[in-house]
Amino acid sequence: MKLYLTGDPCDQQRHCYVVESHDIVFIVDCGYQRCYAGDETPHLRPEHILAARYLFISHSHENQSGALEYLLDHGFTGRVVMTTETARQLPHPVDDPLILEGLSMPYHEAALPGGLYVTWGRSGHCSGSVWLRIRDDERSIFFSGDYYGRARIHAFDPIENQTADLAVLDCDYGASHGSNVREMQISALIEEIGDTLAIGRPVILPVPKFGRGLGILAAISEYLPDADIFADDFFITELMHLDASALWVRSEAQDILRDIFVRHFPEEFVALGVYFLTDPQLDTREGRRLVQDLLACGGQVIMTGTIEPNTHANLLYRAGHAQLLRYGVHCTQEDMLSIASKNHFGRVIAYRSDFSPTQAVYEV
């Protein structure tokens, strides 16, 4: 097998990997990075796009799936392999996808036409997110996706006792964060929200459409039970969908989230409370208008994930009108090394860590 890294091998943002196996080519993830002005799509060779028989998508976030339309426009005619939830979350429908839940259960291997075998498990990052082990008759390669083994909301299948010649592991938070940072992050976020509400100022939380927002909502419900919660229509619709996605949400989290009362945004006034806005980079006109109205009333904008360059969120942050209090949903180097120690990987690649890739092509 030969693995091609299609972005900057030292700082992978647009996750996209091409693998050449004896008689078959496949792609894992196809990320789009909007902050790379003029260079948003993966650096895929035309011959790889045309030859690829499969595209495996680990989850629906833009930096894993956003270049799907680009692949289709440039000649990809293979099958897309993903979960039911990922298929539902993509902005455009995919013709005749291969659904992982229909192929096998977690930890059970399934054969694909062309001589490939895939094993998958839930990764805990968001509904529908998975890790993948893919092999042919001679070699195997493992992709952790955005695995998060400390998830409080989304279900995960621990990555243990897996064997692979090469493993690409998430290490998005790098070597500078210890495992105890997560409790500190939650405490800092809750304290800031509580203090802001106590002085009569609303809080705006721009969050992704899928994933992190539910964890923050559960934490606010636990530590600030009297806080009024408001959310946009998309966030509320996803909350209502939880029963249908029970495979992906831990049962105890289902119980917590089901009992939280979330109101729609008030239309003609600003109320004191916490506002969940599913627009993390403030790309939409509606999102920017809401933020402007709340800031005019003394509101506090709190970003909890990556603030991308060349976005309105970044402009707001740099101008001092927003602050960053991260809510972790990725692995640190400590987490990544723990995963590696519980498995049998011949070689590990982990971005932003001491195991970052040093070349663009690996052969196993």
Query: What is the CATH number for 158?
Result: 3.60.15.10
* 96 and 70, same domain (yes or no): yes
pLDDT at 179 over 70: no
- For residue 306, which of 33, 44, 27 has the smallest C-alpha distance? 33
Same domain for 148 and 42: yes
* Whether pTM exceeds 0.85: yes
Answer with the residue of higher pLDDT: 37 or 138.
138
- Nearest Cα residue to 350 out of 340, 341, 342: 340
Same domain? 103 vs 38: yes
Q: Residue 55 is part of which domain span?
A: 2-173+330-363
Q: Percent of the chain, pLDDT > 90?
A: 82
Instruction: Mark whether 350 and 287 lie in a shared domain.
Output: no
The answer on pLDDT for 176 being more than 70 is no
pLDDT band at 4 (very low <50, low <70, confident <90, very high): very high
Q: Beta 110-112 vs 116-122: how paired, if at all?
A: antiparallel
Same domain, 291 and 213: yes
Same domain, 6 and 142: yes
pLDDT of 65-96, one tens digit each? 999 999 999 999 999 999 999 999 999 999 99
User: Is 103 in the same domain as 118?
Assistant: yes
Domains held by the chain: number:
2
CB 112 within 8 A of CB 118: yes
| 270 and 294 inside one domain | yes
Between CA 216 and CA 309 the distance in angstroms is 24
Domain match, 38 and 140 both = yes
Q: List the CATH number of the domain containing 260.
A: 3.40.50.10890
Given this model, what pLDDT does residue 362 score? 95
Residues 35 and 157 in one domain: yes
- For residues 320 and 338, membership in a common domain is answered with no
pLDDT for 43-62, tens place per residue? 899 999 999 999 999 999 99
Same domain? 124 vs 142: yes
